[in-house]
Amino acid sequence: MRATETLKKRFEARLSRVAISSAIEINDTGLIFGAGTVLARMKRDESGAGHLDIDKCRIFALLAAAYGRTVSPDVFRHIEGASEQWRRGDTALANIRLAFAGLPRVEDRTGIYCLFHAEDLLERGVSPRALMLAFGFEPEVTDLAKYDPSQPRVPAGNGRQSGEWGSGGGAPRSTEPAHSGSAAVTIVPVPTGRESKGNEAFVGAVGARTGINAFLAEIAPETLETLSTFALRFSVPTAVLGALIIPSPNKGIIAQGTLPDHPDVSYRLDRPQGLLLLSAKAADGSDIAIHAQNRNGIFVDVATGTRIGRDLQGDLFLSWDAVRDAIQAREDKSPQAAPKSDEPQLCPAPVKDIPHGAKNPALNYEDDVHARVNPLAPIPRGFAVMFMNPVTGRPVYFDDCFRYAGDLVDGDMKKGDPVDAKGPGYAWLLLESDHAEEVVQNLIKQAGKQLEVTRALGLGLKWSFAEEAAADAVRERFEAEGLAEIVIAYMPPRRRKRERK
């Protein structure tokens, strides 16, 4: 069950157990507000006297969620005074002192539910600052240490211009979507058994001042946390303010369907592999396929290197603008549909290689091939390049790819062609071991998978061997198997200092 439905049930369950406190009060549990929300817990000192464990950032964020506006930090002077009165045993005076804070009562379910929702997010590890961002507050008012107590601000997305100074009263909770360029806000009904005005609450806000595509670039951890919280609100694929949210009830499955609000575009998301396939029809009826790969949390169109989405702990955040542009580029057969022949992005960006237990001699030889193939910018150890198989939609890995025309020193490859490294040890395996045929069959199987990709993409393929005898043996066998289009080359390993005697 998704988080939103679970939260609603928990909210109703709590209302059935506790009395609603429309004003803040102190009791033996701590500082209580709303539907039993604990703003600050009671703890005991060495003498056994109770006093509040005051976390100002937590309280500041919770009160902001309840009122729809930030409160003056001056309230903490009264909360601390009330805590001291309680420690002395003057419980009645403690609540009287608390009243001097001047905090308004919360009578409607909207504020009570917002408070409960905010408490839930904090308990699940969301920071107070990220919580306030998620409820639509401007970044400059989420830091208690820097906040100006004389001028409480209106939360972003409440119907006024972002950052407009408000009065001391609670800001209205808008049911209108934010305009382009302001914070994007989604609203869901507060659980209730009857229809009533004001029974809606903000459950997330995404700061999109520079457009939804800003979330496909590098973003601060707090913003990423807010965006992840925002995505949790949806149990079905949803289109909201230029973003497409594809939720994941199970992070280890393949999800597929049509994009929300765009039923003419289907998707297939393989989460374990980090692969996304988008399919559409061109105006002439031909098929359009966009293959994207999850690279460090960003889904990248493997044909162009364009960012189109972001992984949010299994949920998928897509930019419709980016997806639409990718479809249009392919439909128009414009230069944007494929990298230009004189640009280095014919090769995919390096990605983490699949662990295969290679030992140092093999890894050293891979480094040698990296340096030979792209001497100006060799990719690091443990990385490879991944091409998407256009037929199966599955990834196929190669050790490297010729990125620059100046690196084609052997004259047998062209820019964009992949290459694989076969390190020391193959000569013995192929010519002397009892498992020679098994090794050959594994090489033939690998060659078949790689050729399926290179043939479909019109690329060449080169295998570099560290041993001449191994290269000769594989070349002869591949010719007999109809695999002669793979260029089999011998490139001796570079001698390293520790190998010299």
Mean pLDDT of the chain, nearest integer: 75
365: left (phi over 0), alpha (psi -120 to 50) or beta: alpha
Distance CA 36, CA 21 (A): 7
Confidence of residue 311 (pLDDT cuts 50, 70, 90): confident
Question: Looking at 20-24, 340-344, 422-426, 490-494, which range is the least confident one?
Answer: 340-344
Which residue, among 112, 123, 95, has the nearest Cα to 19 in the 3D structure? 112
Q: H or E stretch including 122? A: helix 109-123
Q: Residue 222: pLDDT above 70? A: no
Per-residue pLDDT band at 227 (split at 50, 70, 90): low
Q: Can you tell me the distance from the alpha carbon of 166 to that of 72, in angstroms, rounded to the nearest whole number?
A: 13
pLDDT surpasses 60 at 409: yes
Lowest mean pLDDT segment, chosen from 72-81, 151-160, 161-170: 161-170
Res 468: pLDDT = 95
The pLDDT value given to residue 489: 93
Between 131 and 184, residue with greater pLDDT: 131
For residue 343, is pLDDT > 50? no
Q: pLDDT confidence of 443, banded at 50, 70, 90?
A: very high
pTM above 0.85, yes or no: no
Q: Is the pLDDT of residue 400 over 60?
A: yes
Taking a C-beta distance cutoff of 8 angstroms, is the pair 104, 170 a contact?
yes
pLDDT at residue 186, as a whole number: 29
- Look-up of token digits 């199966």: 392
pLDDT at 160 over 80: no
- Using CB atoms within 10 A of its CB, is residue 27 exposed (0-12), middle (13-18) or buried (19+)? middle
- 316 pLDDT higher than 70: yes
Contact 493, 368 (CB under 8 A): yes
Buried b (16+ CB within 10 A) or exposed e, 367-391: bbbbebbbeeebbeeebbbbbbbee
* Residue 72 pLDDT greater than 90, yes or no: no
Mean pLDDT across 83-110: 81
| 194 pLDDT more than 50 | no
Mean pLDDT over residues 62-76, rounded? Answer: 85
Name the pLDDT band for 359 (thresholds 50, 70, 90). Answer: confident
**In which band, very low, low, confident or very high, does the pLDDT at 500 lie, cut at 50, 70 and 90?**
very low
Q: Where are the beta strands (DSSP E) in 27-97?
A: 30-34, 37-44, 50-52
The percent of residues above 70 in pLDDT, for the chain, comes to 72
Q: How confident is the model at residue 234 (pLDDT cuts 50, 70, 90)?
A: low
- Stretch 340-350: mean pLDDT: 59
Q: For residue 175, what pLDDT band results from cuts at 50, 70 and 90?
A: very low
Q: How far is 278 from 105, CA to CA, in rounded Å?
A: 50
Task: Please give the DSSP secondary-structure letter assigned to residue 353.
Answer: P
* pLDDT confidence tier of residue 212, bands split at 50, 70 and 90: low
Model confidence pLDDT, tens digit, residues 257-274: 888 888 899 998 877 777
Residue 501: the pLDDT is: 41
- Least confident span in 242-256, 280-294, 360-374, 460-474: 242-256
Q: With a cut of 80, say whether residue 218 has pLDDT above it.
A: no
Stretch 299-304: mean pLDDT, rounded? 81
Interatomic CA distance for residues 218 and 158, integer angstroms: 27
Tell whether the model's pLDDT for residue 207 goes beyond 60.
Answer: no
Residue 426: pLDDT over 90: yes
Q: How confident is the model at residue 178 (pLDDT cuts 50, 70, 90)?
A: very low
* Least confident stretch, 20-24, 154-158, 364-368, 425-429: 154-158
Highest mean pLDDT among 135-144, 220-229, 356-365, 483-492: 483-492
CA-to-CA distance for 464 and 488, rounded, in angstroms?
6
> Which one-letter amino acid corresponds to residue 10?
R
